[in-house]
Structure 1
């Protein structure tokens, strides 16, 4: 089988798998998306996120001072 035919076959199979997965996976995607959003909005996660942002800002400020910016 020539290489170009193999590539066309691979592309066709990937396309078919994508379409089938997209149709079957929409509800699972929504479920995962909802869980991720709930985790992101969790008060404990928000607290840690805020502390992390403050530490990053301090480190960036110190680095800027060191390089004279």
Structure 2
């Protein structure tokens, strides 16, 4: 049973090493694409508008809760 475990451990280690090398370049590619989308001027504008809408909604909800429960 022990030799089988050692073989499996060696195979897992090799797979991890090769996967890590291949995964690094793909990770950089994905983060670069995400960063370019996140920093797009239209996306920044939409994020700011969403934050304003959330703040406005929070105020409205607080007023309604205060009238109902306060």
Return the TM-score normalized by structure 1: 0.67
Q: CA deviation at 1:19?
A: 4.6
Deviating runs (4+, > 6 A) in structure 1? 13-16
Question: Which structure is larger by alpha-carbon Rg, 1 or 2?
Answer: 2
- Using a 3 Å threshold, how does the CA distance of structure 1 residues 14 and 64 change in structure 2: closer, same or farther? farther
- Gapped runs of 5+ residues in structure 2? 1-7
Q: Output the aligned Cα RMSD.
A: 2.4
Q: Which residue of 2 aligns with 1:39?
A: 37
Q: Report the count of equivalent residues.
A: 59
Unaligned runs of 5+ in 1: 1-8
Distance 2:58 2:18 in 1: 46
TM-score normalised per structure 2:
0.66
